[in-house]
Amino acid sequence: MDVKTKLKEMSAELDAPIKSYIEDEAPRNLIEACRQYPYAGGKRMRPSMVVAACRAVGGDGEKAIPLAVAIEYIHNFTLVHDDLMDGDEKRRGMTTSHVLYGLPTAILAGDALFAKAYDIISDLDIPSDAMRKVLKKVSVAVWDLARGQQMDINNENSGTVSMDDYIETIRLKTSVLFAAGAAGGALIGGADDATVESIHEYAMNLGVAFQMFDDILGIYGDPEKTGKSAGNDIRKGKSTVMVCHARENIKDKDTLDRFMSVFGKLDATDEEIEIARNILKESGSYDYAIEMAEKYTMDSIKCLDCLADSEDKAFMKALAEYSMSRDV
């Protein structure tokens, strides 16, 4: 399956619903700020997964579209606040919300998107028991996402973050929203509890692989494609899978000291970043990160054994493979 083409098709199908829930109201600047991120498009992996999971268990994908939109709104609410916390001025070539609309409006836009997501979920056409389970999955995910984001902030410039700490952080920061969406889609589709939990675990593993590979791209990706300056994660002191592996496995003190002298150095030169990148390659940390991302991808795919073969199952498998084979 050509997953990029399929994602484009599903994104196009979801585009109109995503743009249908934020009505023209006052104040205009808040409405514009709410629309900015979700209306900008993108791969829309999370909402696509909601619909695919619903159909893969034999459900009506149309019934899952409101949850797909809600998950996309929640994702974008986190992006608005992430950009604000990080002080980023651009997101994929677009001026970030807090720069374009100002700090107070950006905060309110994130809050409003979060509220709108729950408003949309309340309109789901599903039995009350399934509704309670969907609400629980989404609510727990948002709570865990906040914990993961704070862990990520706490981990910056820390020389004591272990591999287990890193894995737990990205499970919370990245995986939980994928998982809530996929499990929610399965619930809407009428799946039993065991199948819902298998699909939840599928998305949790996919999210870990996705974030690991994102961290790899943050250091070794092509800036022309990623839109990020290669090596900035080293400057910011981000403890990624490669950095955790390097700290735990580089035995030569001089080599480790050389790497750590660049790690967290905001004004590190391109030459210093290149030295750090080479150390990660030579120490085996880059290869280890690839192996770990591949392991989580395979674990993700195994969770789909509970599903009968279908185009949507094939798409979900392709999404897992895509999570660590993309160039952006």
Q: Which two tokens stand for residue 20?
A: 């249908």
Is residue 227 over pLDDT 70?
Answer: no
Helix 45-56 with 61-86: angle, nearest 10 deg: 150
Q: Would you give the end-to-end CA distance of the chain in angstroms?
A: 19
Q: What is the pLDDT of residues 163-202, one digit of tens each?
A: 999 999 999 999 999 999 999 999 999 999 999 999 999 9
Q: How confident is the model at residue 224 (pLDDT cuts 50, 70, 90)?
A: low
The pLDDT value given to residue 226: 61
Which residues 6+ apart lie within 8 Å of 190 measured at CB?
57, 58, 59, 130
> Residue 228 carries which DSSP code?
S
Average pLDDT, the chain: 93
DSSP states along 92-127: TTEEPHHHHH-HHHHHHHHHHHHHHHHHHHTT--S-
Q: Which residue carries 């109109």 as its tokens? A: 16
How far is it, in rounded angstroms, from Cα 273 to Cα 221?
Answer: 13
What stretches of 12-103 adopt beta strand conformation (E)? 90-91, 94-95
Helix 193-220 with 241-249: angle, nearest 10 deg: 70
Question: ω before 27 within 30° of 0 (cis)?
Answer: yes
How far is it, in rounded angstroms, from Cα 201 to Cα 179?
Answer: 7
The pLDDT value given to residue 218: 86
How far is it, in rounded angstroms, from Cα 97 to Cα 33?
Answer: 7
Quick check: 205 and 292 in contact, CB under 8 A? no
Quick check: 159 and 260 in contact, CB under 8 A? yes
Stronger pLDDT, 161 or 278, i.e. the higher one: 278
How far is it, in rounded angstroms, from Cα 16 to Cα 9?
Answer: 12
The arithmetic mean of pLDDT across residues 223-249, rounded, is 82
Quick check: 327 and 222 in contact, CB under 8 A? yes
The pLDDT value given to residue 286: 94
The arithmetic mean of pLDDT across residues 74-90, rounded, is 90
Q: Which two tokens stand for residue 122?
A: 């309340």
Quick check: 69 and 47 in contact, CB under 8 A? yes
What percentage of the chain exceeds 70 in pLDDT?
97
Q: How confident is the model at residue 59 (pLDDT cuts 50, 70, 90)?
A: very high
Is residue 229 over pLDDT 80?
Answer: no
The pLDDT value given to residue 221: 78
Q: How confident is the model at residue 119 (pLDDT cuts 50, 70, 90)?
A: very high
